[in-house]
Amino acid sequence: MPAATGNLQRSAMLGGFVEATTPLVNPNRLWSAQEVLVRPSPLPAAAGVYGWHFKQPPRPDLGAGRLLYVGIAPRYMANRTSTQNLRKRVRYHYRGNAAGSTLRLTLGCLLGLELRRVGSGMRMTFGKAGEATLSQWMADNARVCWIEQDKPWELESHLIFQLDLPLNLDQNRHNAYHSRLKELRAQARQRARELPISS
């Protein structure tokens, strides 16, 4: 392939990537918990990629007012069809618990909330009080944006590879924050295993 042709193709790919990611990196609008949890929700019941920005980050060294995490709905499944979509997933992050939201698990660990085993002891959350504290913190600080995408897992890989997304762990070993965050979450899980099951 001639060098000029290769450069044109790379430029086209980069241009397409920038165009696709701008609504996540520099969104025209960010949405709060109060705005997306209403009914009817402005979130579409469609597949796509969502990005999280924070007025105040969970740690000062992460920087405020920028994209720190991306997620997708649904995830790729080879053997069955997922029922997840942007509306269900984003709303769950805002009001669910750490057992079902890796974003909530990460944020709670960074904020110093105590992870506990609950129920049968197989699930780990921050308990009722801790999850309520986290939900309030997210309502105050976490803002979300999204783009619809038929195969969101394809764009997710590019986003994680190309952007600095310190709160993403999966596919993100190259990020400078990865080892620190992984260790912090591992320590929280280990402490939870040593504590009695929370009611």
Q: Are 193 and 117 in contact (CB under 8 A)?
A: yes
Average pLDDT of span 97-106? 98
Q: Which residue has the higher pLDDT, 59 or 12?
A: 59
What H or E segment, with its residue span, contains residue 185? Answer: helix 178-194
pLDDT band at 81 (very low <50, low <70, confident <90, very high): confident
What ranges make up the beta strands (E) of the chain? 48-54, 67-73, 116-118, 123-125, 142-148
The whole-model pTM stands at 0.89
Q: In Å, how far are 106, 135, 162 from 126, measured between CA atoms?
A: 11, 11, 32
Joined together, the tokens standing for residue 18 give 């920038």
Q: Which residue has the higher pLDDT, 176 or 14?
A: 176
pLDDT band at 79 (very low <50, low <70, confident <90, very high): low
Joined together, the tokens standing for residue 119 give 């129920």
Q: Left if phi > 0, otherwise alpha if psi is -120 to 50, otherwise beta: which for 2?
A: beta
